[in-house]
């Protein structure tokens, strides 16, 4: 078999044997993974394609063996550097791989996010997992299939045209002769890089992609059997807690360790490292009790570092930089030529990820390597931050992704892992488990930035927009862990503190600040500020605030010019896919006629102006006496191009809508001059079951188009759709969120 790229394969198995203290497996459920026996397909029907570049993560890691390996039993193990957050990426990858390899779904195993084992795919963020990871797997699987066919033809001494693929076997047509993938490789693995010239399975022949394949883990989740990071157990497990101060600038003035030891029980070690104060105990309850005693026997400074809550918008403007024109620097804004001019200012407060389960991290130092278990959304970047924080070589840190509470964005999962890492280095040999309290999580998580979006526009004599100006006041929208140790909260409080060196990703603040409409003179300016509260990535970044402002403003402009709200939008669109989602929502609403005190509002967004399309309508009822708002129904139409799994896409759309409903109607981080006061579910109210409206989702499937992620696309239009409906129901325009503040 000379001339083919194959190699001995024991590295991954040996790595798992030597490094893995714990394996987290999602079982295969009979009857949940297959839609039937895959059809045999004549190989000449494969589609020969030349790609300009490899998709997504494959550009950084083009080797076939980085993405898959054939197991001894003939099944295929797929490797992805993405994290399962409840978005169903494991299932989507399984569908894509099974189709391209002509296997059953239960012949595909998917391993996610482990350093040294899976590709480095950075963060699971920005609705990028489908186009970056799933499409990388599709190409790698196609390349593997082609190599396997060549090897099988040589081994069976037949031409490729005589071969057929079915259920992870390659057969000779009209014959009983066949080889499994394992038989072909004989214990070795495929090598080489994925080429740009590739034969792909025709989409018309897909057995799994495009079908609502149930997730294999759903039954266990519903029955409470799923093992999350909080459930990890081991014979050498110990428990730990870290005492958090009052605010970001608090300092530990005094700690009476003698008095603490006299009252505590089961304490194995107390760790003080600068302003970091933690405790390790034998049992979990002892850790809970010990951290209370730490607070009792310590004294912290409590400086006043926050502005007055009601003065936050003014404070933001006072600390912002000079405007940076980020779009349309050469645009001509002819204000004098406009027949109608309009201006408005919109405000969004700080909002939380508000994960229902608090953060957890585990770490164990074996004297050579630090092993870390985390529900971080970026295990490789976090590893870099940990290495810098601990002054360790990055190759001496091994990070394993473990499922945690669902939250979209940069949460304190990384910080919990950093806490565990510091404590594990101080107490080697044991697996140290750190769990955060609800109070600590609410006070210390990196929030979604407060934002101000101010708009100015004019209409010409024909009722079309003649100029547009957006001004956005925004903090950073990503300070995720990376090569800057200070992105990990823990690093900032050690004896040798490592403050954050940069501002993170500022561009997320003006995301979607330039409307996706045809406007001749358009300009967007960003006013960046370094705000009083810790911030980072939260689902959709600045798009939520900007689309809330833009789509509310579009309704105002339509009304001022006497035009129908949807027709006004359609007059300013040329992209047929954008037009189609808006028309689809109008069709979904149909002949629904609002009653007295009710209103229907609309909104549209193309996420990032180059990703998925979503149009939305909301129906609300406003009590004229109390101004109480009842959200009755949401309609949404979404277009992500090729749909991998319509059920997952629908679930993601519904979940995004529900999260954004909370930001629109209820959620706001509250604070005094010295500390965050939104520290529980009473002071930071998220939607309850009774707050959820009926939601209808229509998917526009375009299998001929590139696949895009849908996890964030439905978030931005929600606030504008609801607030436009409120205006139509009661005549009150909403400029400040949340509505029920």
Which CATH number characterizes residue 664's domain?
Answer: 3.30.365.10
The contacts of residue 85 (CB under 8 Å, 6+ apart) are 124, 377, 406, 407, 408
**Residue 386: C-alpha distances to residues 22, 111, 380, 436 (Å):** 21, 23, 10, 19
| Buried b or exposed e, range 122-142, using 16+ CB within 10 angstroms | bbbbbbbbbbbbbbbbbbbbb
Q: From the CB of residue 630, how many other CB atoms can be counted at a distance below 10 Å?
A: 14
89 and 200 belong to one structural domain = yes
560 part of a folded domain: no
Bridge partners, 602 (sequence order): 617
Number of domains in the chain: 3
Last residue of a domain, one of 196, 222, 248: 222
260 and 403 belong to one structural domain = yes
Angle between helices 89-101 and 135-156 (to 10 degrees): 30
CA dist 293 and 430 (Å) reads 23
Last residue of a domain, one of 409, 444, 479: 444
The three-state secondary structure class of 646 is: helix
CA dist 626 and 628 (Å) reads 5
Report the relative pairing of strands 629-639 and 613-622 from DSSP bridges.
antiparallel
**Residue 336: C-alpha distances to residues 116, 266, 333, 339, 344 (Å):** 62, 76, 9, 8, 18
The three-state secondary structure class of 176 is: coil
31 part of a folded domain: yes
487 near 481, Cβ under 8 Å? yes
408 part of a folded domain: yes
pLDDT of residue 333: 96
The Cβ-side half-sphere exposure at 74, using a 13 Å CA radius, reads: 16
Q: From the CB of residue 28, how many other CB atoms can be counted at a distance below 10 Å?
A: 14
pLDDT of residue 42: 53
The phi, psi pair for 57, rounded to 5°, reads: -70, -15
User: What does DSSP assign to residue 134?
Assistant: I
213 near 206, Cβ under 8 Å? no
pLDDT of residue 45: 78
pLDDT of residue 517: 98
Q: Which two tokens stand for residue 713?
A: 């696309």
Residue 107's closest CA among 28, 184, 185, 41? Answer: 28
H helix runs in 434-515, sequence order: 438-444
Helices (H) and strands (E) in the chain, counts: 17, 28
CA dist 314 and 739 (Å) reads 19
162 and 259 belong to one structural domain = no
The phi, psi pair for 125, rounded to 5°, reads: -160, 165
User: What does DSSP assign to residue 703?
Assistant: T
620 part of a folded domain: yes
pLDDT of residue 11: 43
528 part of a folded domain: no
CA dist 261 and 263 (Å) reads 5
The three-state secondary structure class of 524 is: strand
Q: Which two tokens stand for residue 158?
A: 């037949």
CA dist 577 and 614 (Å) reads 10
CA dist 477 and 608 (Å) reads 14
For 630, the enclosing helix (H) or strand (E) is strand 629-639
Cis preceding-peptide flag for 738 (omega within 30 of 0): yes
- Torsion over CA of 664, 516, 524 and 410, rounded to 10 degrees? 50
476 near 536, Cβ under 8 Å? yes
pLDDT of residue 24: 31
| Buried b or exposed e, range 683-708, using 16+ CB within 10 angstroms | ebbbbeeeeebebbbbbbebeeeebb
What are the DSSP calls for 121-133, one per residue?
A: ---S-TT-HIIII
137 and 256 belong to one structural domain = no
Q: Which two tokens stand for residue 571?
A: 């007059």
Q: Which two tokens stand for residue 520?
A: 């001749």
Residue 238's closest CA among 362, 360, 374? Answer: 362
607 near 716, Cβ under 8 Å? yes
Q: Which two tokens stand for residue 102?
A: 């002509």
243 part of a folded domain: yes
CA dist 127 and 442 (Å) reads 25
The Cβ-side half-sphere exposure at 82, using a 13 Å CA radius, reads: 31
254 and 171 belong to one structural domain = no
The contacts of residue 617 (CB under 8 Å, 6+ apart) are 585, 586, 588, 589, 600, 601, 602, 603, 634, 635, 636, 721, 725
User: What does DSSP assign to residue 195?
Assistant: P
Output the CA torsion sign for 683, 684, 689, 691: positive
Q: Which two tokens stand for residue 501?
A: 């060196």
153 and 256 belong to one structural domain = no
72 near 148, Cβ under 8 Å? no
**Residue 56: C-alpha distances to residues 129, 136, 539 (Å):** 9, 6, 20
252 and 376 belong to one structural domain = yes
Q: Which residues of the chain have pLDDT under 50?
A: 1-39, 41, 44
H helix runs in 297-378, sequence order: 312-319
Q: Is 243 exposed, middle or buried (0-12, 13-18, 19+ CB in 10 A)?
A: buried
CA dist 406 and 545 (Å) reads 22
Task: List the domain range (segments joined by +) for residue 283.
Answer: 235-302+365-444
pLDDT of residue 43: 55
The contacts of residue 186 (CB under 8 Å, 6+ apart) are none
Angle between helices 646-665 and 543-560 (to 10 degrees): 80
Q: Which two tokens stand for residue 126?
A: 């920005």
189 and 240 belong to one structural domain = no
The three-state secondary structure class of 589 is: helix
The contacts of residue 1 (CB under 8 Å, 6+ apart) are 151, 154, 155
351 part of a folded domain: no
Last residue of a domain, one of 172, 197, 222: 222
350 part of a folded domain: no
The three-state secondary structure class of 367 is: coil
Our CA angle for 669, 672, 678, nearest 5°, is 35
61 and 153 belong to one structural domain = yes
CA dist 124 and 379 (Å) reads 9
50 and 147 belong to one structural domain = yes
279 and 417 belong to one structural domain = yes
213 and 268 belong to one structural domain = no
For 181, the enclosing helix (H) or strand (E) is helix 181-185
Bridge partners, 616 (sequence order): 603, 636
């Amino acid at each position: 078999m000379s001339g083919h790229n194959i190699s001995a394969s024991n590295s991954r198995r040996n790595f798992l044997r030597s490094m893995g203290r714990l394996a987290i497996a999602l079982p295969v459920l009979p009857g949940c993974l297959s839609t039937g026996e895959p059809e045999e397909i004549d190989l000449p029907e494969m589609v020969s394609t030349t790609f300009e570049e490899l998709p997504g993560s494959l550009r950084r890691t083009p080797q076939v063996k980085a993405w898959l390996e054939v197991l001894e039993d003939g099944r295929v193990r797929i490797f992805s550097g993405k994290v399962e957050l409840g978005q169903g990426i494991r299932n989507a990858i399984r569908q894509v791989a099974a189709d391209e390899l002509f296997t059953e779904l239960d012949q595909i195993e998917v391993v996610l996010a482990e350093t040294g084992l899976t590709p480095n795919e950075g963060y699971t963020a920005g609705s990028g997992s489908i186009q970056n990871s799933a499409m990388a797997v599709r190409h790698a699987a196609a390349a593997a299939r082609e190599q396997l066919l060549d090897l099988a033809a040589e081994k069976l001494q037949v031409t490729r045209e005589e071969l057929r693929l079915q259920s992870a076997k390659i057969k000779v047509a009209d014959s009983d002769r066949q080889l499994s993938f394992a038989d072909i490789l004989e214990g070795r693995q495929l090598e080489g890089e994925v080429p740009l010239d590739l034969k792909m399975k025709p989409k018309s022949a897909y057995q799994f992609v495009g079908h609502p394949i149930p997730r294999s883990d759903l039954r266990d989740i519903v029955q409470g059997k799923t093992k999350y990071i909080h459930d990890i157990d081991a014979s050498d497990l110990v428990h730990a807690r870290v005492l958090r101060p009052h605010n970001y600038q608090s300092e530990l003035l005094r700690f009476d360790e003698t008095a603490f030891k006299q009252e505590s029980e089961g304490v194995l070690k107390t760790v003080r490292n600068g302003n970091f104060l933690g405790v390790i105990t034998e049992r979990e309850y002892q850790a809970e009790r010990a951290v209370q005693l730490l607070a009792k026997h310590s004294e912290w400074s409590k400086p006043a570092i926050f502005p007055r809550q009601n003065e936050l918008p003014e404070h933001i403007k006072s600390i912002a930089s000079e405007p940076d024109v980020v779009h349309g620097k050469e645009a001509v804004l002819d204000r004098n030529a406009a027949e109608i001019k309009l201006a408005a200012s919109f405000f969004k407060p700080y909002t939380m990820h508000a994960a229902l389960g608090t953060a957890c991290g585990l770490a164990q130092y074996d004297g050579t390597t630090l092993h870390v278990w985390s529900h971080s959304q970026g295990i490789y970047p976090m590893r870099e931050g940990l290495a810098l924080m601990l002054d360790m070589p990055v190759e001496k840190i091994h990070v394993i992704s473990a499922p945690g509470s669902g939250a979209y964005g940069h949460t304190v999962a990384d910080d919990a892992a950093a806490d565990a890492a510091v404590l594990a280095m101080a107490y080697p040999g044991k697996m140290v488990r750190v769990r955060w309290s609800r109070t600590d999580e609410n006070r210390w998580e990196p929030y979604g930035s407060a934002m101000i979006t101010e708009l100015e526009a004019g209409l010409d004599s024909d009722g079309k927009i003649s100029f547009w100006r957006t001004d956005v006041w925004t903090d950073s929208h990503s300070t995720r862990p990376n090569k800057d140790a200070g992105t990990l909260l823990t690093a900032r409080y050690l004896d040798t503190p490592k403050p954050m060196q940069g501002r993170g990703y500022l561009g997320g603040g003006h995301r979607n600040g330039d409307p996706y409409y045809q406007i001749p003179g358009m300009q967007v300016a960003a006013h960046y500020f370094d705000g009083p509260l810790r911030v980072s990535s939260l689902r959709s970044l600045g798009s939520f605030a900007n689309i809330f402002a833009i789509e509310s403003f579009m309704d105002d402009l339509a009304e001022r010019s006497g035009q129908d709200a949807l027709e006004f939008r359609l007059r300013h669109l040329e992209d047929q896919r954008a037009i189609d989602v808006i028309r689809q929502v109008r069709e979904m609403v149909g002949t629904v006629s609002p009653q007295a005190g009710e209103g229907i509002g609309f909104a549209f967004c193309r996420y990032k102006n180059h990703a998925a399309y979503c149009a939305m309508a909301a129906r609300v009822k406003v009590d004229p006496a109390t101004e109480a708002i009842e959200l009755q129904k949401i309609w949404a139409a979404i277009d992500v191009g090729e749909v991998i799994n319509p059920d997952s896409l629908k679930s993601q759309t519904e979940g995004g809508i529900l999260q954004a409903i909370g930001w629109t109607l209820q959620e706001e981080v509250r604070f005094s001059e010295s500390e965050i006061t939104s520290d529980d579910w009473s002071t930071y109210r998220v939607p309850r079951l009774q707050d959820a409206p009926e939601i209808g989702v229509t998917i526009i499937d375009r299998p001929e188009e590139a696949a895009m992620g849908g996890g964030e696309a439905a978030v931005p239009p929600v606030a504008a759709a609801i607030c436009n409906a409120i205006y139509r129901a009661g005549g009150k325009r909403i400029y400040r969120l949340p509505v029920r503040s």
